[in-house]
Structure 1
């Protein structure tokens, strides 16, 4: 470590030593390796990356913008900025932050005098690259290192593919390969994740750094309870762990609002955080929570990532997340003080929630963590990137355009996409060059091609304001549904009465009212749900396995009832087809995506009107065991059918041929490997009494 930096680490921070992760990371990063740093939340990953990079910066006399620090959320950038700025200042280095909330004048200052380190998001990077006000080559010419925080979160959706493509363009602008440093929570496939992060440089020297810090020699303190309703959960939270700081995770914004309002009714100091609250409202809540003691903050997954909200005493989970990786992130919020174990209390609402929570805990106990799997076939991102580069440079060579992505895997079969962009008018040919066409301007050209910057689709929402202060955003259906008496909304844990609605500008003006009674509503999340491994762990619980955690008496009684309900529907040696009255159902215990794949594979043998769930499929009720076995033995595995309306959720799908867009969605809804495994399993047939 640079001597000045070492002095401040020892004397200003008062550290007597570095953590094992920080020691090992310094060695790998200073060698120039592409590096993946793995540690739980609050595991010191930021310092593990920042200290060696600052040391290299000084030792090698770097100047200009040499380091990009990329985060998935503006809130996380805002949280990290003072910390990284402090470390850099010890060496006389500058740090700046750039995202959508930063003023135009501040951005102009950054462009005139670039900092040594810039904190930003992939969307802000894209906006810089396509902006006519930014000299991209001048700004990026000294770039050497890119740090990607929460890289596992990027890798699991299309923002990851977008990020990789943008990094390849930065490589070309800088004229050199960029060292890539990823910061991640625990994942099941760290080497694959690092290789993915390397992009076209996958052959470069690389190292995963994940020293065993013996984070908790004692096992985490985990308890499962069955409480029945959100109201009961609120009563329990209100009296449990009095005087402590508690973070409560919920699986929807609506539940966050309902639970937050109930806790306040019980006199609990309560703060809320979710994506539809205004940034100011969330920041106010997180800041107040950090400074308070006896209080609760109720959140969706927004606080799962590494935003620092101070030292927590307890994590409480309503129901359970859909992955062990997410559970570990939330669990890692606790146990930051020495000699204090990580802890989590899981409160299941109904019997189905109890089974899924117990299944998750059982899967966690095996040591399994889901791999971070990038979504397959990101063709719509390829289309977006071709348009973005044509916009960035004004024109792009019709033979040389692939050079921008240096052979990145996603772009290797992109010719049909380019041909469609030209034929549909998104691009126009001019000699040997390609220019942005009129169709692209009509589809994406509003507000300087703002729609081209982000790869995710945000549903239309109304902004809710009290006087001139934004509270958050709400689904418009709440404003159009029939209402008796005043229309009441529930937002930021408070009840508001709608005063008037500006339909043209999508604004709703409200006044606060006392008491409960408001309603909260947002669209349901994208296709997801239980994986094959989680569904099979739920089957193990239904067969009698208790997860190795504390079970309250209510949880034990609830699991006994669950096992009674499912006693005929589980089979340790395979799957069960059950006839009950006129209903024929195949209990696969295979997860949502595998069951969607099986439903498509079965074709007319399944009920086309059913909704896919994680545990079972409804079959055509005239099948018998012989006809079933004869038909299934000959079936090739098929991808799920896609309703064309679903293409509205795949941004830039309009820039793809319909068949390629549909195939992209099909591949993402499928689990062919698990479906194939289920088809090969033994099947037991059963007639069940009413």
Structure 2
């Protein structure tokens, strides 16, 4: 704790920090943030999980609010998750109350009565999501100018979670439109865990405000943070449950898994071992998740199994242990998860990896190798957000009732969202009935009504696509949602689902209303959802190659089972890795593989760019690309001599359909958008520039 910055805060804030919170001072981040935030500078505040980022933004913003006499909704606090908003609201409201101010929440779960009250008695701080802001802007029942005319500052919590996908572009576009409504540039404050490119992330967050002063606030941590990281190979979910049951009895354990199905399977296995177990994932009802998270935060000897829903800053109490089944996709995700531990004085940060397959042991070891080197992924916004351009034009037409055919870009200032294809997109909307034209003005057309008009264009306010699911009900109690697969797959005997860690027998399915009525069952249930995992990055896959070459991650304890798994993998891949380049090897059965260890995006780009070499009938993975088996090594060398024509990866119709608002784009632009997001030209070029070793693999 430090006195730095405390004296600059409003006297009432100072008083309550010392006397109500009984803090001896501010944390380093909080103290360092006071001066730039008070000065109205755009900021990125960086600290690990539980580093006091919320207060680092809130205390000086409240001080500005009091000193400058802000009225109305002057501060927006934007989060990626409703649960995080619910979690933060009481804390922010208590801070606001120090000054006689208030904070309130607005999102999809908030009822109409509360919404009417908020519009009537506008709070000083509104906690919300980008989707809810969009819905408010386009609502015919909300006077947007009256509601948002007083906005001065926007705080974006977990900004890295936005910036890495289309929700970030959507957020920036909505903020530009809010700035137009308010008639002023808005101070933007991003809160984030550690990222690899903070300056670029803050510049992105500024949007069209690139001329405003900005500052990254990331004070060096004082004191060494000890970590306790272990890596084990357990083989099966049941074995993982046995290890979790046996280890750390009497402690609170948070277990991360990579899918909803895994969460359900592990939850059921732990409960079968009489472990007090709770679940949290996106297909559980909000009430079910809340019950689990509240019960877990108040218990001691228990486990909560979660997908990435608990990776962000939702408070589930004082954790003792974090356990990871297999490995997360990124180092940044690992840092978020391990940061949930070590918050008590004298405790350390810890994570136990329990890997189900040998390949997962290699993935975890590669990721931990990069972490041990101090590397964290840079956060980059998705390329070519053309579909967001289409969505924004239609949303603006809803908000303003009309949109200027020649002047529509003015509503977003100089936001780099709108690239050279924007004019073609606008023409497509006009010529295909998404917009109707009347001179220089356009308004919502019949095609937009047909595709997005359900429930007053609610589908237009969110840029992510969620597969339609069935609501699962036990009487009137909502348990969660399941996909079609769980109800369509053939079964013998009664159909039993696994949801919320419990088995439910299906009694009736209302296909038209998409409702599934169940009752508890003692029979074993099955969890099933569609969707697959993403591929690994160039950096993580190269970390895996380093492990295969004999390196073990520093500061990580390997169990005997993990050591055995890595030894067997090193033997298996002994002819597939070299330290200074890539390997092209022919197996005893004649298959020819190019072992790039470059990640799936680079390999997919290579797959498209060397069609004369690559067998098209393959699922491209992270480690290698299969070449035509009838080619000789000389043929391959000759084919790779000279420059290659770089091509975008191929995309299928289902991939294009998964791009929300693709229907509002010309077909070629929709396909190009998906392809550009699958490509990694820079990593492919790195592969092509490396030496190649040719090996006749007789060992396996």
Same fold (TM over 0.5): yes
Q: Provide the C-alpha distance between the structure 1 equivalents of 2:241 and 2:306, rounded to a whole number of angstroms.
A: 14
Q: Provide the C-alpha distance between the structure 2 equivalents of 1:307 and 1:183, rounded to a whole number of angstroms.
A: 14
Cα deviation for residue 637 of structure 1 reads 2.0
1:531 corresponding residue in structure 2? 537
1:289 corresponding residue in structure 2? 296
Alignment of 1:485-496 (within 5 A): 485-496=493-504
Correspondence for 2:485 among 477, 481, 490: 477
Of residues 539-548 and 596-605 in structure 1, the stretch that sits farther from structure 2 once superposed is 596-605
Matched-pair contact (CA < 8 Å) for 1:637–1:676: no
Cα deviation for residue 51 of structure 1 reads 0.5
Is the aligned partner of 1:86 residue 2:82? no
TM-score, with structure 1 as normaliser:
0.99
2:72 corresponding residue in structure 1? 64
2:111 corresponding residue in structure 1? 103
Matched-pair contact (CA < 8 Å) for 1:278–1:473: yes
Is the aligned partner of 1:158 residue 2:166? yes
Matched-pair contact (CA < 8 Å) for 2:582–2:597: yes
What SS does the corresponding residue of 1:125 show, helix, strand or coil? helix
Correspondence for 2:672 among 649, 659, 663: 663
Is the aligned partner of 1:468 residue 2:476? yes
Q: Provide the C-alpha distance between the structure 2 equivalents of 1:655 and 1:632, rounded to a whole number of angstroms.
A: 40
Cα deviation for residue 612 of structure 1 reads 1.4
Matched-pair contact (CA < 8 Å) for 1:281–1:471: yes
Q: Provide the C-alpha distance between the structure 1 equivalents of 2:489 and 2:407, rounded to a whole number of angstroms.
A: 53
Cα deviation for residue 525 of structure 1 reads 4.0
1:277 corresponding residue in structure 2? 284
Is the aligned partner of 1:646 residue 2:646? no
Correspondence for 1:544 among 536, 542, 550: 550
Correspondence for 1:186 among 164, 178, 194: 194
Correspondence for 2:377 among 354, 370, 373: 370
Q: Provide the C-alpha distance between the structure 1 equivalents of 2:209 and 2:12, rounded to a whole number of angstroms.
A: 33
Q: Provide the C-alpha distance between the structure 2 equivalents of 1:354 and 1:601, rounded to a whole number of angstroms.
A: 31
Is the aligned partner of 1:172 residue 2:180? yes
Of residues 185-194 and 470-479 in structure 1, the stretch that sits farther from structure 2 once superposed is 470-479
Cα deviation for residue 412 of structure 1 reads 4.1
Cα deviation for residue 332 of structure 1 reads 0.3
Alignment of 1:176-575 (within 5 A): 176-214=184-222, 217-413=224-420, 414-514=422-522, 517-525=524-532, 528-548=534-554, 549-575=556-582
Matched-pair contact (CA < 8 Å) for 1:286–1:309: yes
Cα deviation 1:649-681 (Å, max 9, x = unaligned): 100011111111111111100100000110111
For structure 2, list consecutive stretches of 5 or more residues without a partner in the other structure.
Answer: 1-8
Cα deviation for residue 12 of structure 1 reads 1.3
Of residues 406-415 and 650-659 in structure 1, the stretch that sits farther from structure 2 once superposed is 406-415
Q: Provide the C-alpha distance between the structure 1 equivalents of 2:468 and 2:183, rounded to a whole number of angstroms.
A: 41
Q: Provide the C-alpha distance between the structure 1 equivalents of 2:398 and 2:472, rounded to a whole number of angstroms.
A: 35
For structure 1, list consecutive stretches of 5 or more residues without a partner in the other structure.
Answer: none
Cα deviation for residue 645 of structure 1 reads 2.4
Q: Provide the C-alpha distance between the structure 2 equivalents of 1:603 and 1:138, rounded to a whole number of angstroms.
A: 58
Cα deviation 1:204-250 (Å, max 9, x = unaligned): 10000111123x61431111111111111100000100100000000
Q: Provide the C-alpha distance between the structure 1 equivalents of 2:640 and 2:517, rounded to a whole number of angstroms.
A: 58
Cα deviation 1:435-462 (Å, max 9, x = unaligned): 1111111110110001101001111111
Cα deviation 1:341-364 (Å, max 9, x = unaligned): 111111111110010011011010
Is the aligned partner of 1:45 residue 2:57? no
Q: Provide the C-alpha distance between the structure 2 equivalents of 1:233 and 1:372, rounded to a whole number of angstroms.
A: 32
Matched-pair contact (CA < 8 Å) for 2:485–2:530: no
Cα deviation for residue 603 of structure 1 reads 1.3
Matched-pair contact (CA < 8 Å) for 1:397–1:432: yes
1:119 corresponding residue in structure 2? 127
Matched-pair contact (CA < 8 Å) for 1:532–1:590: yes
Is the aligned partner of 1:147 residue 2:155? yes
TM-score, with structure 2 as normaliser:
0.97
What SS does the corresponding residue of 1:49 show, helix, strand or coil? helix
Q: Provide the C-alpha distance between the structure 2 equivalents of 1:213 and 1:92, rounded to a whole number of angstroms.
A: 34
Correspondence for 1:35 among 35, 43, 67: 43
Matched-pair contact (CA < 8 Å) for 1:637–1:675: no
Q: Provide the C-alpha distance between the structure 1 equivalents of 2:151 and 2:170, rounded to a whole number of angstroms.
A: 19
What SS does the corresponding residue of 1:605 show, helix, strand or coil? coil
Matched-pair contact (CA < 8 Å) for 1:427–1:437: yes
Correspondence for 1:591 among 596, 599, 611: 599
Matched-pair contact (CA < 8 Å) for 1:584–1:619: yes
Is the aligned partner of 1:676 residue 2:682? no
Q: Provide the C-alpha distance between the structure 1 equivalents of 2:535 and 2:676, rounded to a whole number of angstroms.
A: 16
Cα deviation for residue 129 of structure 1 reads 0.4
1:138 corresponding residue in structure 2? 146
Q: Provide the C-alpha distance between the structure 2 equivalents of 1:519 and 1:604, rounded to a whole number of angstroms.
A: 44
Q: Provide the C-alpha distance between the structure 1 equivalents of 2:654 and 2:22, rounded to a whole number of angstroms.
A: 58
- How many residues of Structure 1 are paired with residues of Structure 2 in the alignment? 687
Matched-pair contact (CA < 8 Å) for 2:75–2:155: yes
Cα deviation 1:409-436 (Å, max 9, x = unaligned): 1114211110111011111111211111
Cα deviation for residue 604 of structure 1 reads 3.7
Cα deviation 1:275-331 (Å, max 9, x = unaligned): 011100000000000000010000001100000111100000011101000000001
What SS does the corresponding residue of 1:32 show, helix, strand or coil? coil
Cα deviation for residue 644 of structure 1 reads 2.2
Matched-pair contact (CA < 8 Å) for 2:238–2:269: yes
What SS does the corresponding residue of 1:609 show, helix, strand or coil? coil
What SS does the corresponding residue of 1:200 show, helix, strand or coil? coil
Q: Provide the C-alpha distance between the structure 2 equivalents of 1:270 and 1:28, rounded to a whole number of angstroms.
A: 44
